[in-house]
Structure 1
Amino acid sequence: MHQFYKNLSIWLLVALAVLLLFHYCKQSPERAHTVSYTEFLKKVDSGLLANVTVVGDTVLWKNTDGTLIKTVVPQASDALERLLRGNVTIQAEEPPQTPWFLHTLLSWLPLLFLGFLWLFSLRRGGGQTPGGSGRALAFGKSRARLINPEESKIKLDDVAGIDEAKEEVAELIDFLKKPEKFTAAGARIPTGVLLYGEPGTGKTLLAKAIAGEAGVPFFSISGSNFVEMYVGIGASRVRDLFNEGKKRAPCIIFIDEIDAVGRHRSAGGAGSSGNDEREQTLNQLLVEMDGFDANDHVIVIAATNRQDILDPALLRPGRFDRQVMVPLPDVGGREKILKVHARTAKIDPGVNWQVIARGTPGFSGAQLASLVNEAALMTARGNRPAITMAILEAAKDKVLMGAERRSLIITDREKRITACHEAGHALVAWMLPGADPVHKVTIIPRGRALGLTMQLPEEERVSHDRAYLSATLCTLLGGRIAEEIVFNQMTTGAGNDLERVSDIARRMVCEWGMSEAVGPLTFKAANPLSGQPGQILSEQTAILIDVEVRKLVQTAYDTARHLLTEHRGLLDAITAALLERETISRDEIEAIVRTGAAN
């Protein structure tokens, strides 16, 4: 239909152009030379003219050589009388008249052209049809893209590291394949499934895999595609989307980033109108998922990384019956994800994926995919036959810490301060029994950092005790303290460390109840995104919290300072090694500590 309107508009424009050209040619006389009125009078008075043709206020005649000449005669002139006195034969003709319909068309042409442009943009603004055929739609039509079963190539085997989430959605696939099995037992399939978790964990990929396994039509749309500046458009698109889904039931409707339209309805504050576009769209979505009319065999899958700001009415049973957390993968999941992304890459037989997985704690699936891709790019740039462990380690550092900035010029003094700072982090982490082991220390600038100390946990941590958090505070403060001990000064290099120290200490007091003076209480801060106000604190409680936060930080500061003062020789040795080699590994630090202990 979109192509039909486009072809029709082109033919109309061509027809109009031909009509105008024909009319111009019809009313335009033969090409004539123009002479002045004064010269024309001279020719009349001298008797050089025998025949003339008068068309309106224009006089036409032919010269002796056959050239057509014309002159425009003023209205208040005696040209006609002079022609009659000179016995000149005069032939009068009416000027050509523009047909009324053409005159009307020409007068309305600008408005018609503007209206056509507006209509064309309006129809294009409706987006693609659910079938993806590109038909022109109105604003109120859905922008969802329909993926037919034969088009979906992603299967559950392509999703790794989130086995529990895959088991949760396996029932949906069984129901879509064999709905009679569940309906015979009186079971009702969940109307909606909410996939939530941190960014990059594979929520959208899991939804694509569900579509690929179920073999049913799959409508995909983003939450931001519902909301427009015109009130009512989003609600109309929701209605159209579910109508299309019911026509193709059983099917799946996938709404990515649903928080764009499903935010808490009180998030706008007291001055927000309940009649705005986003709220109307959300209300329509609530009705379509579980309203007066039954919505059988249409399953809604939504993804978000901000579950806390979604409206409670959207999360209740009957709408999103299941809420499936898609977590960050553990060490086993990371190994599986790496192997999935390495299927199409050339991998050296000596690559140990378990070692790489252990060295990437906290990595999401997207980061692991980026790691393998970076390794492949490095392999291609270096004209190497396959991806090796060394390349994977370099790619991991690039993904984790950013690209090296070897072109950055820093003074020798700044370099020594940076080396001392990182040596302070590394030594405190090495000496404290509860801290994560040091994996690598570097003073090569990466990203916005002039140096980095990388720690890798020996095992996966799900929760953290107070001893581990205290050791983390000491490690973060070690860099600042080392600068004070060696150079007797403070620099801005510890800015990010101090920010993390303040955040961890305040959360220990306000969220995790790790202060004896405050006790096992929690104090929530305001959440402006969800519209939830913070907990009201008395002045005495606020002062007590500040005192306890300062006490935790000061205790960690004293502990780290004592360690660095006691082992000043090791601090200088690690600093010298960094200045010499720029990057040192765990084994090299261990050799330095062993040598220092022997001396």
Structure 2
Amino acid sequence: MDMKRIFRGPIVYIVLAVVLVWIGSSLLTGSGFREVTTQEGLDLLDGSTVSSAKIVDGEQRVDLTLDEADGDNGTKVQFYYVAPRGTEVVEAISASNADFDDEVPQTSLLSSLIGILLPFLIIGVIFYFLFMRMQGGGNKVMQFGKSKARLVSKDAAKVTFADVAGADEAIEELEEIKDFLKDPARFQAVGARIPKGVLLYGPPGTGKTLLARAVAGEAGVPFYSISGSDFVEMFVGVGASRVRDLFTQAKENSPAIIFVDEIDAVGRHRGAGIGGGNDEREQTLNQLLVEMDGFDPKTNVILIAATNRPDVLDPALLRPGRFDRQIGVDAPDLKGRQRILEVHGKGKPLAAGVNLEILARKTPGFTGADLANVLNEAALLTARSNAQLIDNRALDEAVDRVMAGPQRRSRIMADKEKLITAYHEGGHALAAAAMRHTDPVTKVTILPRGRALGYTMVLPLEDKYSVTRNELLDQLAYAMGGRVAEEIVFHDPTTGASNDIEKATSTARRMVTEYGMSAVVGSVKLGTSSGEPFMGRDMGSGRDYSENIAETVDAEVRVLIEQAHDEAWEVLNNNRDVLDRLATELLEKETLDHEQLAEIFKDVQKLAERPQWLSSVKRPVSDLPAVLVPAKAPIDAGSVDGGVGSEPPAKPERAPRPRKSPGIATA
């Protein structure tokens, strides 16, 4: 709140005047009387030293003036008495030789007005200050509808496109917007019109807000920044008023750019809220739609918006003419991650042996925010250990902290539980290594980290944008490897596989209901594409398939999980000596890297190739073009000949699993 503006206001002077009047009236009412007790006053009346006396009715006060015989010439004394002693006081005054007077006090008009108006004035001042604070500090009263957008100053620290890495396509599109604002004649000469809006969408942490800040630094035009939640208030109509005020300011300073972060706060689909058409958010959205594409075609204002949920935005907001360009900002690829690491590595003392390309290969799927966090965690770990350079050890630990959380050194496991964890993680790693379509195992540890007692890291060597059916089946078998290892070795599974079972079940269900990888269900999309209900639009909607189909889906999911369990059982039994050796190494070293794992897995016997899945093909394989016939991967004879040290344990007795066919592919 601007205190200088408050002190210049008239209310401060009014309050000051009232206080001064009250103090002055208090001083005037004082007459220099010295107060004594009631008994002392009666003694003075009996002593015949009082020259005059005055009784003030209503206040039960007696004012005495002493004569010269008392030795205190002109001394004034006053005392108070209670009602029962009033007769005694009157008799004492009558018995003395003093002049007697009686007075009834009269309240002045000024004092009455002050007594009446002062409480209301104080209450008004309190409400004024509360009202000002509720409106955000320096705003004046009744200015709720003013926009809260912040104008980026030209003197502020600028972020340019050189500071953004891993989003080349988005930068190219936004650079064209910058050129359009700087040289519109070049585009208008060929009949091109300036885009009304640009929507940046993508997962959190991919750099959407950073791109907008880079546009602000490069554009050289007024840049207004505001959040979507700043439009909506508790007062009806405030959001629409703020939208109007924001665009009015931008039009007055056009060409200009408006950036709205998290636009889904006001841009959600209309008619899906509880408030219906009278919803305050919908009124704000309606005003935004009008401002973006109204009757004024000469508006030279560009709206840049960012959101993580483009699927919930209103279709009228996404049509051409409003958001002409929709730019996806996804997680960076390998080269993009390397450039991002180079940008965030500037100013950090990296050791000579640090290779950012290798670090980029270890972090597939990481966003720009994740990579920045990795380097920051590595710098913190280096400072914590009183080192001067950030080395590979600190970077590896930082990657683990970002992926799985900090290491829990205080959690001390018993020897048996540590042995179970070693075999559990060894089962994951061995199952992944024995499959033919999995990514390489890069790290296995039994050190508790985050909520996990240990973890196995399986990372791809290159970026992937689609996954095959065999790769998904390998993921299921790899997920069940930990549970199967517990069953083979201890014949007593633990609760440590709960998260593995959850992930495997989710993957299998999506294979059946979304990816069309079930010959029984077929290539049919079942259910919604998102696991989250879309507000009121999807609330109350039932399942879009019958109970028979639901039963079939559950059976197919069960078959996929059971086959993954059997495949994991097969490879772990066939490589039992490798599993024991891996568990022993884990108990001794606690963490194994990719080089140590490659040495242990050199004799692993791979799982046989699965039958070809051709349920979607109506013709025999012999009739297909050669390019469409998948080649059967050769079996590594050397890996098959790798001997197993001892006879594998017999599979424990349990109820047989239902099978529709030898393989899921032809189920």
Find out whether 1:140 has 2:156 as its counterpart.
Answer: no
Find out whether 1:175 has 2:183 as its counterpart.
Answer: no
For 1:31 and 1:415, the matched residues in 2 are separated by: 92
For 1:184 and 1:117, the matched residues in 2 are separated by: 61
The change in CA–CA distance for 1:443 and 1:107 in structure 2 (over 3 A counts) is farther
TM-score (norm 2): 0.83
Question: How do 1:459-470 residues align onto structure 2 when only pairs under 5 Å count?
Answer: 459-470=462-473
For 1:175 and 1:339, the matched residues in 2 are separated by: 30
For 2:276 and 2:151, the matched residues in 1 are separated by: 34
For residue 300 of structure 1, what is the amino acid of its counterpart? L
- What SS is found at the alignment partner of 1:351? coil
- Give CA-to-partner distance per residue, 1:454-512, whole Å, 9 cap, x none: 11101110010101111111111111111111111222211111111111111111111
2:34 pairs with one of 16, 26, 32: 32
Identity of aligned residues (%): 48
Question: How do 1:6-21 residues align onto structure 2 when only pairs under 5 Å count?
Answer: 6-7=6-7, 8=9, 9-21=11-23
For 2:154 and 2:25, the matched residues in 1 are separated by: 57
Match of 1:131? none
Q: Which has the larger radius of gyration?
A: 2
**1:167 Cα deviation from its structure 2 partner:** 1.0
For residue 100 of structure 2, what is the amino acid of its counterpart? I
Count residues with an aligned counterpart: 590
The change in CA–CA distance for 1:288 and 1:124 in structure 2 (over 3 A counts) is farther
2:77 pairs with one of 61, 68, 72: 68
For 1:178 and 1:126, the matched residues in 2 are separated by: 40
2:154 pairs with one of 149, 152, 169: 149
For 2:471 and 2:599, the matched residues in 1 are separated by: 25
For 1:436 and 1:29, the matched residues in 2 are separated by: 100
**1:296 Cα deviation from its structure 2 partner:** 1.2
Match of 2:573? 565
Match of 1:89? 99
For 2:400 and 2:86, the matched residues in 1 are separated by: 95
The change in CA–CA distance for 1:346 and 1:295 in structure 2 (over 3 A counts) is farther
Question: How do 1:173-252 residues align onto structure 2 when only pairs under 5 Å count?
Answer: 173-252=178-257
Contact kept, 8 Å, 1:127 with 1:136, in 2: the verdict is: no
Match of 2:492? 489
Find out whether 1:122 has 2:131 as its counterpart.
Answer: yes
Match of 2:284? 281
Contact kept, 8 Å, 1:60 with 1:71, in 2: the verdict is: no
1:479 pairs with one of 476, 479, 482: 482
1:301 pairs with one of 301, 304, 313: 304
Deviates more, 1:51-60 or 1:172-181: 51-60
2:422 pairs with one of 419, 424, 431: 419
The change in CA–CA distance for 1:174 and 1:103 in structure 2 (over 3 A counts) is farther
- What SS is found at the alignment partner of 1:558? helix
Question: How do 1:446-457 residues align onto structure 2 when only pairs under 5 Å count?
Answer: 446-457=449-460
2:432 pairs with one of 405, 429, 432: 429
Match of 2:561? 553
**1:524 Cα deviation from its structure 2 partner:** 2.5
Contact kept, 8 Å, 2:33 with 2:76, in 1: the verdict is: no
For 1:489 and 1:207, the matched residues in 2 are separated by: 56
Deviates more, 1:212-221 or 1:227-236: 227-236
Match of 2:629? none
Contact kept, 8 Å, 2:52 with 2:100, in 1: the verdict is: yes
The change in CA–CA distance for 1:152 and 1:240 in structure 2 (over 3 A counts) is farther
**1:136 Cα deviation from its structure 2 partner:** 4.0
- What SS is found at the alignment partner of 2:332? coil
Find out whether 1:442 has 2:450 as its counterpart.
Answer: no
For 2:120 and 2:499, the matched residues in 1 are separated by: 61
Contact kept, 8 Å, 1:348 with 1:388, in 2: the verdict is: yes
For 2:51 and 2:260, the matched residues in 1 are separated by: 87
Q: CA RMSD in A?
A: 2.4
- What SS is found at the alignment partner of 2:155? helix
For 2:491 and 2:501, the matched residues in 1 are separated by: 18
For residue 163 of structure 1, what is the amino acid of its counterpart? D
- Give CA-to-partner distance per residue, 1:246-293, whole Å, 9 cap, x none: 12211111111111111112322xx54321221111122112212234
For 1:15 and 1:437, the matched residues in 2 are separated by: 83
**1:515 Cα deviation from its structure 2 partner:** 0.8
For residue 373 of structure 1, what is the amino acid of its counterpart? N
Q: Which runs of 5+ in 2 are unaligned?
A: 605-641, 646-667
Contact kept, 8 Å, 1:440 with 1:455, in 2: the verdict is: yes
TM-score (norm 1): 0.92
For residue 158 of structure 1, what is the amino acid of its counterpart? D
For residue 198 of structure 2, what is the amino acid of its counterpart? V
**1:157 Cα deviation from its structure 2 partner:** 0.5
Match of 1:542? 550
**1:72 Cα deviation from its structure 2 partner:** 4.3
Contact kept, 8 Å, 1:476 with 1:498, in 2: the verdict is: yes
Find out whether 1:51 has 2:52 as its counterpart.
Answer: yes
- Structure 1's consecutive aligned runs of 4 or more residues displaced over 6 angstroms after TM superposition are none
Deviates more, 1:148-157 or 1:400-409: 148-157
- Give CA-to-partner distance per residue, 1:164-213, whole Å, 9 cap, x none: 11111111111121223333433211111110000000000000001110
**1:124 Cα deviation from its structure 2 partner:** 3.5
**1:111 Cα deviation from its structure 2 partner:** 3.3
For 2:509 and 2:201, the matched residues in 1 are separated by: 27
Deviates more, 1:525-534 or 1:458-467: 525-534
For 2:431 and 2:219, the matched residues in 1 are separated by: 54
For 1:534 and 1:310, the matched residues in 2 are separated by: 23
The change in CA–CA distance for 1:566 and 1:30 in structure 2 (over 3 A counts) is farther
1:262 pairs with one of 257, 261, 267: 267
Question: How do 1:511-522 residues align onto structure 2 when only pairs under 5 Å count?
Answer: 511-522=514-525
Match of 2:627? none
